[in-house]
Amino acid sequence: MPQLELRNIVKIYPFINPKKYFFNRKKAEKVLEEQRRMPYLSNEGVIAVQQYSLTVEEGEFVVLYGPSGCGKSTVLRMIAGLTDVTDGELLIDGEDMEGVLPEERDVAMVFQEYSLYPHFTVAQNIAFPLRNLHLPREELDRKVELMLRLLELTGVKDEKPATLSGGEMQRTAIGRALIRRPKIFLMDEPFSNLDTPLRRKLRVLMKKIHQEIGTTFIYVTHDMYEAMSLATKLVLMKDGMIVQEGSPGDIYSHPENITSGTMIGAPAMNIFRDAVLLRDEDGCVLRVLGKEFPCRKKIEKKCGPVILGLRPVHFEMFREPGADSGEMILCTVLRREDAGTEVHFVLEPVEGESCEIRTAIRSEDPAAGVHEGQEVWIRPRTEEAFLFDTETEMRLQ
């Protein structure tokens, strides 16, 4: 039995009624306007989450990833019991959670804002949830010491929150949430107030803690790197629905549709909407950007218009066309950006309809030295391309 199961969950937030907000009427009217602009509405209100089915096994590190407003926090709050479910079932260990209070669910949650008791030290903050258990002093100390060590907080254990850094405060909040070893640990963008190097460090730490304690983690972020590096199960979300779920590697190499293809990977996948799959004597060729390219995929049956997805790494780049310029496209460099091991380019074909092509070339490649305004030849490795249906935008084959 899965530890957590969401079955066809729907969450509708009622429309706000400005008449009820006598003193804040202007603001309430603005909120209502925003609500009316949301992509999915019902008669009762905003559909924040719909058709949402997800199963989580014990010990997984689930990451909910998607743009602002896609319903990530709402899903987390429904699991925690902080907001009710409009329709569908939410089960923990097979038990329906309807009417079960947050404190009875054995889940813990950490938010973006730090919420510590200002008059308590780090150690006292972490020990706080154990206060009613009447544990022997030694056992209590042992549990707190272990948590301090796990979160690398031993050095500041006697300090009060006011003197802590943001990272230390958030780690203290995590320690306090984990000390009772909840069944499920929920985190809503816990590190988004911190700077990038610190976030990277804490990411590594979270991974280590997850491996050591083996508790189920459900983590919300809109940072792609965070999502990819932490998740054992990545859940891509958009407009309150799941776009695709799976391991980060699997989603990257097998996107089910254009949305998941473009959500994962940076720079984002190039999408060519006017590609055509043609039959020739050896099988298939792809016509795109005014030229024809090989297509190794066995999808002859799908001949006709297709949408082509090419990741920036799916291009080779050359300073000179070489012998076989028939398969290459001459482009102008619009933008160039060094990204360490790779250089990222935005190119525009010299001939044909104007469009932008993103490429990522290894820095040591001689072609990576070209600059803005110069010309380069590119060859798309169409054998590795993704093909999508023009109507459903689902991946073909």
Ligand X SMILES: Nc1ncnc2c1ncn2[C@@H]1O[C@H](COP(=O)(O)OP(=O)(O)OP(=O)(O)O)[C@@H](O)[C@H]1O
73 lies in the binding site for Mg ion (CB under 5 A) = yes
Q: Which of 54, 62, 70, 343 binds ligand X (CB under 6 A)?
A: 70
Determine which helix (DSSP H) or strand (DSSP E) holds 349, and give its type and residue range: strand 342-349
With vertex at residue 377, the alpha carbon angle to CA 373 and CA 380, rounded to the nearest 5 degrees, is 125
Interatomic CA distance for residues 309 and 70, integer angstroms: 24
CA distance 165 to 169: 6
246 binds, among Mg ion, ligand X, none (CB under 5 to 8 A by kind): none
Nearer to ligand X, 68 or 354 (CB): 68
Q: Which residue is nearest to Mg ion (CB)?
A: 73
Query: Of Mg ion, ligand X, none, which one sits near residue 97, judging by CB under 5 to 8 A according to partner kind?
Result: none
**Count of residues interacting with ligand X (CB under 6 A):** 12
CA separation, residue 134 to residues 128, 141, 266 (Å):
12, 12, 51
The option from ligand X, Mg ion, none interacting with 74 (CB < 5 to 8 A, set by class) reads ligand X
Residue 242 to residue 259: CA distance in whole angstroms: 11
Q: For ligand X, what does the binding mask look like between residues 108 and 137, x meaning CB under 6 A?
A: ------------------------------
Q: Judged by CB under 5 A, which stretch of 70-78, 177-185, 340-348, 368-376 contacts Mg ion? A: 70-78
Pick the binder of ligand X from 52, 61, 73, 331 (CB under 6 A): 73
Stretch that binds ligand X, among 54-62, 65-73, 137-145, 172-180 (CB under 6 A): 65-73
CB 192 within 8 A of CB 221: yes
Q: Is 38 in the site for ligand X (CB under 6 A)?
A: yes
Nearer to Mg ion by Cβ, of 72 and 379: the residue is: 72
Question: Among ligand X, Mg ion, none, what binds residue 344 when CB lies within 5 to 8 Å by partner kind?
Answer: none
Question: Minimum CB separation from Mg ion for residue 111, in Å?
Answer: 9
Q: At what angle do helices 196-213 and 166-178 cross, to 10 degrees?
A: 20
d(CA 240, CA 377): 42
DSSP H stretches of helix in 42-134: 72-80, 122-127
Of 288, 239, 228, residue with least CA distance to 68: 239
Query: What residues make contact with ligand X under the rule CB under 6 A?
Result: 13, 38, 46, 48, 68-74, 222
Query: What residues make contact with Mg ion under the rule CB under 5 A?
Result: 73
